[in-house]
Amino acid sequence: MPAPITPLLDLDLLLTDAERATADRVAALATGWRASIAGWFANSDAPVRGIAADLGSAGLLGMSLPAPFGAGAGAVEYGMACLEVEAVDSGLRSLLSVQGSLAMHAIHAFGSPDQAERWLPGMARGEVVGGFALTEPSVGSNPAECRTTATRTADGWLLHGAKKWITNGPVGDVVVTWALTDEGMRGFVVPVDAQGVTMQEVPERLSLRASSCGEMTLEGVALADEYRLPGARGVKAPLSCLNEARFGIIFGTLGAARDSLLAALDYTVGREQFGKPLAGFQLVQAELADMAAELAAAFSLAVHLGRIKDAGRITPAQVSLGKRTSAATALSIARRARALHGANGVLLEHPPMRHAANLESVVTYEGTHEMHTLVLGQELTGVAAFR
């Protein structure tokens, strides 16, 4: 954590030397994006493929996968990479986690060796950009209600349906797509340029504007069986991919929170009202103290969950606990940091409102705050309350 947070929280003590080195390396890479991020957000024109190439060159795409497809990084090391990228913008971290923890993870976990060799090396380098298509225009929190279908044919499969909220989709090459078959839900690697695929950008988004997000229509898309992920059976397969990506969110959102808090500290110390800095007023100091304490608590939980994950013991409920806590904490900090900027807080030159707008999506995607609340409720009581 950079000054002036470091002397108070000293959170680096929770990390190993390797984890700190990765955080520093990714922070240096991310610094190159800072001068442009406000414009990318305003114009919704981030150079996604160029950023993917940067991430690939730095070894950050699929970094948790074992060699030769990844670096075999530990959970906390991966988490710190997500944190430093999201300290610039949640849209950039979404690119990182969808490519590595959804698309690449799905191919590695459920694909054949030939499929892994075909797609993963290019994806790890950022030369092949991938998306993940589970959510549909009318199906969100309950993927078991998926309406996209894949029907067997003499030559393979025929896909029909529609998917939405596909990060990387409009600029990507392949999309891991989930569809219902006679055997239940199965996964397919769908080339974006396949005949019958229509992909377009989701228009008029007020959040995650420094990313690419698409909606896809599948109209009689014919795929050979080699595009089916043979190990993916049932709804548990895509949900396991989401757990991998959610883990990155646990850390990533705290990067946005940290950047918002630093911006608030800088602004309130430098801005004078009534003859003294804003930071000299008790109510302002109370807000800053609360925000720092909440960030420290959420970060400590994130590292603890990372250690559990590295020990091979993490459960879906624990991932829900982390995602719910970090996303809600980060959104609260970003909103309050914006308020401490007064009217100037709505200007793009100050990052908290951009972070807050992005985090409104992050608390919703990959399991809404409410759904994770019910997951925790069921874990505590043994009673499901989803219906």
Supply the pTM of this predicted model: 0.95
Q: Is the pLDDT of residue 5 over 60?
A: no
When pLDDT is cut at 50, 70 and 90, the band that residue 144 belongs to is confident
What residues act catalytically?
366
Q: Is the pLDDT of residue 7 over 70?
A: no
pLDDT (0 to 100) of residue 142: 84
**What is the CATH architecture assignment of 236-381?**
Up-down Bundle (1.20)
pLDDT tens by residue, 62-119: 999 999 998 899 999 999 999 999 999 999 999 999 999 999 999 999 999 999 999 9
Which is the CATH superfamily of the domain at 5-124?
A: Acyl-CoA dehydrogenase/oxidase, N-terminal domain (1.10.540.10)
When pLDDT is cut at 50, 70 and 90, the band that residue 13 belongs to is confident
Q: Is the pLDDT of residue 328 over 60?
A: yes
Q: Is the pLDDT of residue 43 over 80?
A: yes
In whole angstroms, what is the distance from residue 256 CA to residue 7 CA? 20
pLDDT (0 to 100) of residue 201: 97
Read off the amino acid at residue 336.
R
When pLDDT is cut at 50, 70 and 90, the band that residue 4 belongs to is low
pLDDT (0 to 100) of residue 1: 52
Output the CA–CA distances (angstroms, integers) from residue 354 to 8, 172, 308, 322, 324, in the order listed: 26, 25, 32, 23, 20
| Nearest alpha-carbon partner for 130 in 150, 115, 149 | 115
pLDDT (0 to 100) of residue 143: 82
Q: What is the mean pLDDT of residues 319-340?
A: 98
When pLDDT is cut at 50, 70 and 90, the band that residue 6 belongs to is low
pLDDT tens by residue, 165-210: 999 999 999 999 999 999 999 999 999 999 999 999 999 999 999 9
Comparison of pLDDT for 9 and 162, the residue scoring more: 162
pLDDT tens by residue, 291-325: 999 999 999 999 999 999 999 999 999 999 999 99
Decide: 258 and 337 in contact? Cβ < 8 Å. Answer: no
pLDDT (0 to 100) of residue 94: 97
pLDDT (0 to 100) of residue 356: 98
When pLDDT is cut at 50, 70 and 90, the band that residue 10 belongs to is confident
CATH code at 130-227: 2.40.110.10
Domain ranges of the chain: 5-124, 130-227, 236-381
Output the CA–CA distances (angstroms, integers) from residue 251 to 101, 290, 302, in the order listed: 14, 19, 6
Read off the amino acid at residue 84.
E
Burial (CB count <10 Å: 0-12, 13-18, 19+), residue 88: buried
In whole angstroms, what is the distance from residue 173 CA to residue 161 CA? 19
Q: Is the pLDDT of residue 374 over 80?
A: yes
Q: What is the mean pLDDT of residues 269-297?
A: 95
